[in-house]
Amino acid sequence: MRVLIEALTRDKYFKEKELNKQVRKEQIKKDVKSFIQIVHHFRDECIRDYHRPPIEHVTLFDEAQRAWDLQMTANFMARKKGRKDFRFSEPEFLISCLDRHQDWAVIICLVGGGQEINTGEAGIGEWIDALDRSYPDWHIYISPKLSDEEYSASGSLGKLIGRDNVRYKDELHLSVSMRSFRAENVSLLVKQLLDMDVSAARETLIELEHKYPIVITRDLHQAKRWLKSQARGSERFGMVVSSQAERLKPHAIFVKQVVDPIHWFLNDKEDVRSSYYLEDVATEFMIQGLELDWVCVTWDADFRIKDGKWDHWSFKGKKWQRIRKPDRQTYLKNAYRVLLTRARQGMVIVVPTGDDEDPTRPPAYYDPIYEYLCEVGFSVLA
């Protein structure tokens, strides 16, 4: 949200300056914030008075699947707001705010499949569950595609069967990716790749490889050279990694480094803090909902392959620890889904070679990943 607000502010500011108008950037930013706000600010405003409706009759929640579940919301409200009696999930409370209107209100939820990447994210299913248990009078319009596996909403959808005010509309599904304008099948390819559906992934790759280049390499420096050679003019490029990729430090990649997303996404090629410099990296948390023209995805041993299946790990202290909880395994898989779908025009995937002398980075952790990508058919960067 900070990046969007700053981008709109800068755009308006420079356009006004070109017209020789006297403007203040602070005032422009204030104007931008009047119609775009962080959802938590909207929530906090509604908490002050449980009866007064918000001034908005129409609200659009981007990344709606990331709204918090009951436990996360209740814990936050008790710790940060002193409200120990709060008993709503974030979706249920947000719906209740619009429900205060006596005449009409509209809620639009923009949802990405398989995008839950953090503890406490309720998914689109919680929005449906909240409507089912608390708001029987609301009219609901749903894409039939929400029944697909990556949305994890099939159980919730079943609760709506027989409800008269539910309509399914094909038009509500964005079937053509606006992010990857060169190829509409990138998201499908990534899904097949993460589902280890080799034959389907191979066929999808053949369909898009000529208009959306994806290459793989073991050499990070070679990947950076390729990335720079692909970008034209103002096309933006950058490097992304998993937030669990802690053993990329030997490659000068430190995921714990605090990066300002405004500098990274918006500043120009002369700024060492920008994505162009390929020094600071973005994780799934910073890049979700945003994109670059060209992306380098550097793969670590947190999401590796063993016996033909994905293996989930987190680095703690001096060693890797297996991730056993199913929800955390899903978050890690979704993290790589986010990383692999951030490029508009093409990407390079780096799988390091590892190091026999480093017990935390043996080649055995990395080679199966690279071999799998080769089996799917990705072009090897010469």
314-338 pLDDT tens trace? 999 999 999 999 989 999 999 999 9
Q: Are 103 and 56 members of one domain? A: yes
CA distance linking residue 208 with residue 201, whole number of Å: 11
- Amino acid 360 reads T
Q: Are 200 and 141 members of one domain? A: no
Share of the chain above pLDDT 70, in %: 96
Domain that holds residue 235: 186-380
Q: How many domains does the chain have?
A: 2
CA distance linking residue 148 with residue 127, whole number of Å: 16
Q: In this structure, is residue 322 part of a structural domain?
A: yes
Share of the chain above pLDDT 90, in %: 66
Q: Are 166 and 278 members of one domain? A: no
Q: Are 273 and 157 members of one domain? A: no
Using DSSP's 3-state secondary structure scheme, residue 117 falls into coil
Whether residue 258 has pLDDT greater than 60: yes
* Listed residues 172, 207, 222: the one ending a domain: 172
Q: In this structure, is residue 243 part of a structural domain?
A: yes
CA distance linking residue 366 with residue 299, whole number of Å: 8
Q: Are 254 and 285 members of one domain? A: yes
Q: In this structure, is residue 282 part of a structural domain?
A: yes
Give the pLDDT of residue 243: 96
Q: Are 219 and 345 members of one domain? A: yes
Burial of 356 (C-beta count, 10 Å sphere; 0-12/13-18/19+): exposed
**With contact defined as beta carbons under 8 Å apart, do 349 and 194 qualify?**
no
Q: Are 244 and 157 members of one domain? A: no
Tokens of 239: 């490097």
* Listed residues 115, 138, 172: the one ending a domain: 172
Q: In this structure, is residue 308 part of a structural domain?
A: yes
Most confident among 40-49, 58-67, 279-288 (mean pLDDT): 279-288
Give the pLDDT of residue 373: 98
More confident call, 91 vs 44? 91
First to last CA, the chain: 39
Q: Are 51 and 152 members of one domain? A: yes
Q: Are 365 and 285 members of one domain? A: yes
Q: Are 309 and 208 members of one domain? A: yes
CA distance linking residue 250 with residue 237, whole number of Å: 22
Mean predicted confidence (pLDDT) in 303-312:
97
Q: What count of other Cβ atoms lies within 10 Å of the Cβ of residue 289?
A: 17
Q: In this structure, is residue 24 part of a structural domain?
A: no
